[in-house]
Amino acid sequence: MKEAMNLPNQLILLPLLAVVVVNLPLGLRWAAMLGGVFFSIYQMWTMVFLPPLETGFFDLQIDGLSRVLLLSIGLVAFVSILAARGTIRDKRERFYFYNLVLLAMVGMNGLVMVRDLFSLYVFIEITSVASFILIALRRELDGLEGAFKYLIMSAVATAMMLSAVALLLLATGETSFAKVAEQMRLGGSGLPVLAAGLFVAGLLIKAGSVPFHGWLPDAYMAAPNAASILLGGIVTKTTGVYALIRLMQDGMFGTGMSPVLLLAGAVSIVAGALAALGQRDFKRMLAYSSISQVGYIVLSLGTGTALGVVGAVFHLFNHAVFKSLLFVNATAVEDRAGTRDMNQLGGLAARMPVTGFASVVALLSTAGVPPLAGFWSKLVIIVALYKSGHPVYAAVAVLASLLTLAYFLSMQRRVFFGKLREGLEGVKEAGWYVLVPTLALTLITMGVGVLIPWMFGSFVLPMEKF
Amino acid sequence: MISSPLLYCIVYPALCGVLLLVVGNRIKWLREFLLVLASGINGYMAWALFQKSGESVAVALPWAGFGLDFTLRLQHFGGFILLAGAGFGVLISLYSAVFMREHRHANQFYAYFLFSLAQTNGVALADNLVMLLFFWESLLVTLFGMIAIGREDAWKTAVKALVLVGISDVCMMVGMALVGSLRGTLSLNVLTQQGVALDGLGGLAFILLVLGAVSKAGAIPFHTWIPDAAEDAPLPFMALVPAALEKLLGIYFLARICLDIFKLPSAPDNWACHFLMILGAVTILIAVMMALIQKDYKRLLAYHAISQVGYMILGIGTAVYAGIIGGIFHMLNHALYKSCLFLSGGSVERQAGTTDLKKLGGLKAQMPLTFICFAVAAASISGVPPFNGFYSKELVYDGALSRHVLYYVAAVLGSFLTAASFLKLGHAVYFGKLAEENKKVKEAPAAMLIPMIVIAGLCVLFGPWNELPLKTFIYPILEKAGVEYHTCHGPIPHQMMLVAGTLIALVLAALNHRYGVKRTGVGVGASEHIHHAPVLGWFYDKAEKRWFDPYEVGMKVLRGGSYALFYLDRFICWLSDGLAAGLTYLASAIIRWSHNGSCSRYVLWALAGAAILIWYVMKSA
């Protein structure tokens, strides 16, 4: 029994248990939020200190990569739950929201710890289903449309991934990462390669890389604000990008996949940034920005080198922090000013100084301005690209930073700077449920950047070895 | 410490200048008192130092290292310059104390006046080339300040002066650096002992140093600020700086370059001598041609200040005994008569309120003493015997004729034109009809007359008694420089043929004047027939439009260049802000337009992407 409650199992079972308990007719519905907050804090706590090497059900294991992801999941879930408490007015909706976040955590925690393709697929589906409902939570037309698009595209992805698993089972008789990787190394051609291609295409849909990204802007924009934080901050990163990183790291693709990833990454960066430039909806712009930033991660992964993987994971973590922060800011703005249309906003920094400052920090980190966190991960990515002999892609990565800066500065100017728009005089700073996550994420962004020598030695580099 | 007087005579006037700046304009008599007192003490110190200049007095203090030592050395030539500069300082300070009393920035002017004296002493005493350059360049600051506090728009002229003199000073600085690197020392004393050859880099250094020196003295082509300053700057400035101090310093350094560093007299057939002589002859002719047609008292004098430098350069450039003596003697004489002329112009300006020749006339009766001083100085500059200018010009003619007859002809032609233009000036101001508004004009106050009378007296004294300045000041210079005594020259005037040439030129000038006055009926029109002569007229026209002014031309070129750079900048800006941004927004619009929200379209994109991906992976595997 003690065996059964080791850390990997806890991370799956505790949230599941919480969902079951608060839904039993015991009058414990009020405990849902507390459960979520405590569990996410517990998850972060255990991940900051070196987790023990234990194996749970379905061969669940925590290694360096999983550790970074689990930490990010705990952080974003924590932020998302607090933001939901602050911005979702309907009590029942709020209760559903906490339950769904806990379920999504079950899925995400599971998928970053599993060691075989089929379990990976199952946990991805758990996360996705929770996400569909989160998007449609308000049962409005927008939300339903966004959820529908995500559902349809996910179905395509599911079909691809499931057939890939089937093909692999047919060809090798195995689904565990290690065994499949061994088979691929022995001379993969024909069926295994087809399976790998299908699986990657499915993951790219989940990750929202161009041209598989159609669902993403609508889903992010239509979801309730607190759900957008979760989706944009971590869900697509675990379901899509993490899985890609894991499979790449375990050597399941061979070398043939590198050019594909490089191209998809570069196209995503540029197209996402260009699309973001033309948006007037705050959250839709952030959605396109996510596409662009995912492009960086995929591009880094495409190098196929250890440094590239490190850069990808580091950027993934940073992206979870700063993109959550930006979504939190968008949440605060919409909650107080009543609109997300950037053309109808202006001068809010005077009324919402903390949010305005946090937004500056987040956008500078995204654009890769030193000494903030985003600069260092982009630096690692560019160095990895250059060292692996892709100077052109490195140049694209550098130049796209200009586009990033362009659309973010335009956002900052239209929303926070300049003269206060008429009708916004009564706007107040966001409440504490929003400000606490804002401050926490701002501090992390700045802290990771400033303490980079220590961060690099103790978190980023051990990812490979641990 | 024997060396301390050398330091005193630099530090003391500068401190007095600072004191004047502190005192301000509140207590009027105090400023003037301080100015005259300081100049007087400076004059006394210079006199005392000149007595010692036979002994070798030097002060050396460690300074920046790398051969940049704070070295002062009193030698004979420097002592002479020191004394001459301080003497003019005394006289002109007396004049300024009256002339500038009502000026709103009088204390600044007085302070710059004293700073200039300190810097002049510094140049005359400096032994290290960098020290010399330091004092030389710092004269630019006071030059700028003294011009800028003149008329309303005087700062434009001040900038012009600063730019032109600054450029020539940069030339000199490069020349000094070249000499320093060639010989490994910056000490004038050591350089004098070693000498520098005139080939290759040495020749380049010579040209650069000469450009710096003669531009300070006011020769072409960096001269164009002087006529403008004559109109814009306060008058005592003109009498002090361009007429006296700058001539003294420029020619002093030119002489040291030619005699001490490059030792021209040891090889008089050098290209360098011809370079100097041509520069001198051209300066004489062009500047005097411009002077001839001027219609403003001070502007006309300013062009003569340029023209007369030509004689000095020509004289030193001949590299023969008579010529060099003539050049240096002419420097002293010119400082005398030209400051006297400027002072007379200042008196007329103060009493009559204008210097426009068309409005003046008939002042002889009203201002008799000023007129006499003017007449003496004008006769002197025109080379009328027996005034001092005659003797120094004769010496220069002698040197020029011994080199080539063309140089002599140019010099005599210059004399003819000088005489013609001074006949015109004197006629226009002091003779002719007295204008109605000038009826009440009185003689200038005593404090302004005294300097003029003293200087005019010296002009007379140095004529027949030319042995006095020559023996005291100038012969020892050439002796030190080791120039051989030229036998062709006895007591001056020594060659009756030269005298005859001069007299013919003067008579011709008088006839020319008569013709011009007859033609137009007024004194100011005496040069109209030359001004509007067929070919000359065109050149005059363009010169009046400043076509030949290197500053104005340079500014036009710069303005053209800055327009070109401006449009280049706009173009680059358009590339980034217009073209690049436009393309970016176009791409952004296309991407936005393609995201029309259709789910089937998105699925198709994804499927197409997947198909390409799988095809590629299968193909490459």
Q: Where among A200, A222, A254 does a domain terminate?
A: A254
How would you label B406-430 residue by residue, b for 16+ Cβ within 10 Å and e otherwise?
ebbebbbbbbbbbbbbbbbbbbbbb
With 90 as the cut, is the pLDDT of residue A458 above it? Answer: no
Among residues A207, A216, A443, A221, the alpha carbon closest in space to that of A331 is found at A221
Q: Do both A5 and A90 map to the same domain?
A: yes
Based on the number of CB atoms within 10 Å of its own CB, is A164 exposed (0-12), middle (13-18) or buried (19 or more)?
buried
* B360 membership: H or E segment, kind and range: none
**Residue (of B22, B21, B46, B229) closest to B140 by Cα position:** B229
Tokens at B283, concatenated? 């300066």
What mean pLDDT is reported for chain B?
86
Q: Which of A45-49, B136-140, B441-445 has the highest mean pLDDT?
A: B136-140
Q: What's the burial of A405, exposed, middle or buried (CB within 10 Å: 0-12/13-18/19+)?
A: middle
The answer to whether B200 and B529 are in contact (CB under 8 A) is no
Q: At A242, give phi and psi (nearest 5°).
A: -55, -45
CB within 8 Å: B591 and A406: no
The DSSP letter of residue A420 is: P
Which chain A residues contact residue B605 at CB under 8 A? 211-212, 214
Q: What is the pLDDT of residue B437?
A: 77
Question: What residue type is assigned to position B214 of the chain?
Answer: V
**B91 DSSP assignment:** H
Q: For the residues B114-121, what does the mean pLDDT come to? A: 92
User: Which DSSP string do the residues of A111-174 spell out, in sequence order?
Assistant: HHH--BHHHHHHHHHHHHHHHHHHHTTT--HHHHHHHHHHHHHHHHHHHHHHHHHHHHHHHHS-
Could you give the count of Cα atoms lying within 13 Å of B547 in the half-sphere of its Cβ? 7
Distance CA B313, CA B315 (A): 5
pLDDT tens for B437-480 read 778 888 888 888 999 999 999 999 988 888 888 888 888 888 77
DSSP label at A345? Answer: -
Judgement on whether residues A294 and A183 belong to the same structural domain of the protein = no
Any B CB within 8 A of A69 CB: no
Average pLDDT over chain A, rounded to an integer: 88
Residue B133 CB contacts under 8 Å (≥ 6 apart), including other chains: B169, B172, B173, B176
* CB–CB contact A193 B621 (8 Å): yes
* A134 contacts chain B (CB < 8 A): no
Chain A residue numbers with beta carbons less than 8 Å from the beta carbon of B601 are 214
Residues A449 and A365 sit within 8 Å (Cβ to Cβ): yes
Q: Are B348 and B421 in contact, with CB atoms under 8 Å apart?
A: no
What total of structural domains would you count in chain A?
2
Task: Choose among A211, A256, A274: nearest Cβ to B617.
Answer: A256
* Closest-CA residue of chain B to A161: B610
Say if the Cβ atoms of B610 and A217 lie within 8 Å: no
User: For the residues B371-383, what does the mean pLDDT come to?
Assistant: 92
**Smallest CA–CA distance from B590 into chain A, residue:** A275
**B303 has pLDDT over 50:** yes
| pLDDT given for residue B2 in this prediction | 45
User: Any idea what the Cα angle at residue A250 is, between residues A249 and A254, rounded to 5°?
Assistant: 90
Q: Which of A248, A274, A403 is the best substitution to test chain B (most B C-beta atoms within 10 A)?
A: A274
Amino acid at B425: L
Biggest CA pair distance of chain B: 117
pLDDT score, position A422:
82
Task: Judge whether residue B110 has pLDDT over 60.
Answer: yes
Q: Are A243 and A273 found together in one domain?
A: no
Q: Chain B closest CA to A359's CA: distance in Å? A: 23
- Which residues lie closer than 8 Å to B129 by C-beta, 6 or more apart? B176, B179, B180, B186, B187, B188, B191
Q: Which amino acid makes up residue A159?
A: A
Number of residues that make up chain A: 466
| DSSP 8-state assignment for residue B256 | I
Backbone angles phi, psi at A50, to 5 degrees: -60, 115
With bands split at pLDDT 50, 70 and 90, how would you rate the model's confidence at B54? Answer: low
Query: Inter-chain contact A271–B591, Cβ cutoff 8 Å?
Result: yes
Alpha-carbon gap, residue B503 to B513, rounded angstroms: 15
pLDDT digits (tens, 9 = 90+) for B187-234: 888 888 888 888 888 889 999 999 999 988 888 888 888 888 888 888
| Model confidence pLDDT, tens digit, residues B499-544 | 888 889 899 988 888 888 888 877 777 788 888 888 888 888 888 8
Residues A250 and A357 in one domain: no
Name the strand (E) or helix (H) holding B297. Answer: helix B297-318
Q: What span, in angstroms and rounded, lies between the C-alpha atoms of A249 and A251?
A: 5
Among A239, A254, A269, identify where a domain stops. Answer: A254
Residues with Cβ within 8 Å of A41's Cβ and at least 6 positions away in sequence, in order, are A74, A78
Closest residue on chain B to A268 (Cα): B591
Rounded distance between C-alpha atoms, residue B211 and residue B214, angstroms = 5
Same domain for A357 and A224: no
Give the model's confidence band at B486: pLDDT under 50 very low, under 70 low, under 90 confident, else very high.
low
Do A439 and A359 contact (CB within 8 A), yes or no?
Answer: no
Query: Do residues A175 and A218 both lie within one domain?
Result: yes
Query: Mean pLDDT across the stretch B71-92?
Result: 89
A205 and B CB contact within 8 Å: yes
Reply yes or no: is the peptide bond before residue A453 cis, omega within 30 of 0: no
State the number of CA atoms in the 13 A half-sphere of A415 facing the CB.
35
Rounded-to-integer distance, Cα B318 and Cα A296, Å = 80
CB within 8 Å: A275 and B588:
yes
**Arithmetic mean of pLDDT, A53-74:** 85
Mean pLDDT of A367-384: 90
A12 and A127 inside one domain? yes
Same domain assignment for residues A422 and A455: yes
**Average pLDDT for residues B561-567, to the nearest whole number?**
93
Instruction: Name the pTM for this structure.
Output: 0.64
Per-residue confidence (pLDDT) for residue B488, from 0 to 100 = 45
Facing residue for A149 by CB, picked from B599, B607, B608:
B599
Beta carbons within 8 Å of A394's beta carbon, 6+ residues apart: A382, A385, A386
pLDDT of A1: 55
Q: Do the Cβ atoms of A241 and A298 come closer than 8 Å?
A: yes
The interface predicted TM-score of the complex, written ipTM, equals 0.87
CA A296/CA A319 separation, integer angstroms: 10
Identity of the residue in B597, B602, B614 whose CB atom sits nearest the CB atom of A198:
B614
C-alpha neighbours within 13 Å on the C-beta side of residue B317: 29
Amino acid at B29: W
Q: Examine the pLDDT at B243 and tell me if it is beyond 70.
A: yes
Q: Give the integer Cα–Cα distance in Å for A188 and A174.
A: 14
Judgement on whether residues A222 and A273 belong to the same structural domain of the protein: no
Shared domain check, A100 and A173: yes
How many of the other CB atoms lie within 10 Å of CB of A400?
24
Under the banding of pLDDT at 50, 70 and 90, the label for residue B489 is very low
Question: CB B599 to CB A198 under 8 A?
Answer: no
Helix or strand holding residue A320 (H, E) = helix A306-337
Distance CA B122, CA B377 (A): 29
Q: Which residue has the tokens 């692996």?
A: A388
Q: Can you tell me the distance from the alpha carbon of A367 to that of B510, in angstroms, rounded to the nearest whole number?
A: 86
Q: What is the pLDDT of residue B487?
A: 44
Q: What is the percent of chain B with per-residue pLDDT over 70, rounded to a whole number? A: 96
Inter-chain CB pairs, A–B, below 8 Å: 92
Q: Which two tokens stand for residue B419?
A: 């005489």
| Alpha-carbon torsion (B65, B68, B70, B74), positive or negative | positive
Closest among B320, B168, B190 to B259, alpha carbons compared: B320
Q: Is there a single domain that holds both residue A57 and residue A122? A: yes
Question: Nearest CB to A205: which of B584, B606, B620?
Answer: B606
Chain B contacts to A (CB-CB under 8 A): 584-585, 587-589, 591-592, 595, 597, 599, 601-603, 605-610, 613-614, 616-618, 620-621
**Using a CB-CB distance cutoff of 8 angstroms, which residues of chain A are in contact with residue B593?**
none
Contact A152 B601 (CB under 8 A): no
Same domain assignment for residues A375 and A304: yes
Would you tell me how many other CB atoms lie within 10 Å of the CB of residue A331?
29
Q: Of A200, A211, A217, which has the smallest distance from its Cβ to B605's Cβ?
A: A211
CA distance B217 to B409: 23
Q: Tell whether A155 is within 8 A of chain B (Cβ).
A: no
Residue ranges making up the domain that contains A163:
1-254
- DSSP letter for B486, please: P
Q: Which of A230, A254, A278 is the last residue of a domain?
A: A254
Who contacts B462 (Cβ-Cβ below 8 Å, separation ≥6)?
A: B332, B333, B336, B388, B391, B468, B469
Residue with tokens 């009378």: B453
Q: Say which of A153, A189, A256 has its CB closest to residue B603.
A: A153
Read off the pLDDT band of A82 (50, 70, 90).
very high
Task: Please judge whether A217 and B620 are an interchain contact, meaning their C-beta atoms are less than 8 angstroms apart.
Answer: no
